[in-house]
Amino acid sequence: MTRDKIVAAIGDAVAAMSWWEVAAVVLALGYLILAMRENSLCWYTAFISTSIYIFLFWDVSLLMESALQIFYLVMAVYGWWQWRSGGNEQTLRIHRWSFLRHIVVIAAVGILTLGFGYILQTSTHAALPYLDSFTTWGAVVTTYMVTRKVLENWIYWIVIDGVSVYLYIDRELYLTALLFVLYVVLVVIGFFQWRLIYNRENAVTSTP
C-alpha cells in the first residue's frame, strides 16, 4: 500500500471516530501517564476507558476484545485496591520479580499462545491467530503485574505493544497502530521513571 493510501486510511479512521472512542483513547492515555507517576487515579481513568471500550468493541462485533475489556475492568478495581492499601493496609512499593519467576511466566504465556493460537487457526477465520493470542495473554499477565507494581511490567509492555503495532498495521487499523507507537514511547519512559523510584526507595531502605 502506497503512502498516500495509508495517509488517506488514517484520515478516514479519524473522521469515523465517535466522541466515545475519542474519550476512551484520551482516558487510556491518561491511565498510562498517571501509572507512570505511580498515581492511583490511573485506575479511575482505566475503569472509565475500559467501560467505554466494552461497548465499542461489542458494537463492531469484536467479542473477544470486548471480553478482554471486562477483565481489564476487574483489574482496574483490583489495581486501585492494591495501590491504595497494598492488600494489607500498607503502601504497595515497586518491586522486582526473580529471574526464575519471569522464566515461568514467559513460558506460561508461550504455552497459552500456542494453544489458543492453534484453536483460533483451526476453528475460526481469525487473522494472525498466534500473534493475536500472544498479545491477549501477554496483556492479561502484564496488567496483573501493573496492579502489583512489578517493575518489569514496562519491559513486557514494550514487547506486547510493539507486536500490537504490527498486528494493527496488518489489519489496516493505522490510527490504532499510531496510538500503540505512542504507547511504546510512553512505556519506555515509564520504565525509567519506575526504576528511579525503585532505586531511591531501596537506597533509603538499605541506609543504616
Q: What is the pLDDT of residues 87-122, one digit of tens each?
A: 544 568 899 999 999 999 999 999 999 998 898 888
Rounded Cα distance, 77 and 201, in Å: 26
Q: What total number of domains does the chain contain?
A: 1
Per the structure, the complete domain to which residue 9 belongs is given by 3-206
Over its C-alpha atoms, the chain yields an Rg (Å, rounded) of 18
Nearest-5° Cα angle at 161, 1 to 139 = 130
- Strand, coil or helix: what is 40? coil
Neighbours of 35 (CB within 10 A): 26
Written as tens digits, the pLDDT of the chain (208 aa) is: 566 666 666 666 666 557 787 888 889 889 999 999 889 899 999 999 999 888 877 776 565 667 788 999 999 999 999 888 765 445 688 999 999 999 999 999 999 999 988 988 888 777 788 888 898 899 999 999 999 999 999 999 999 999 988 887 877 777 778 888 999 999 999 999 999 999 998 886 555 5
Cell 514487547 found at? 159
Integer angstrom CA distances of residue 30 from 45, 119, 160: 7, 35, 19
Q: Are 170 and 128 in contact (CB under 8 A)?
A: yes
Q: Which residues of 37-72 are buried (b: 16+ CB within 10 A; e: fewer)?
A: ebebebbbbbbbbbbbbbebbeeeeeeebbebbeeb
Which pLDDT score, from 0 to 100, does residue 204 have?
65
Residue 147 grid cell: 496492579
With cell 484520551, the residue in question is 26
Q: How confident is the model at residue 15, as a pLDDT?
A: 61
Query: pTM for the whole thing?
Result: 0.80
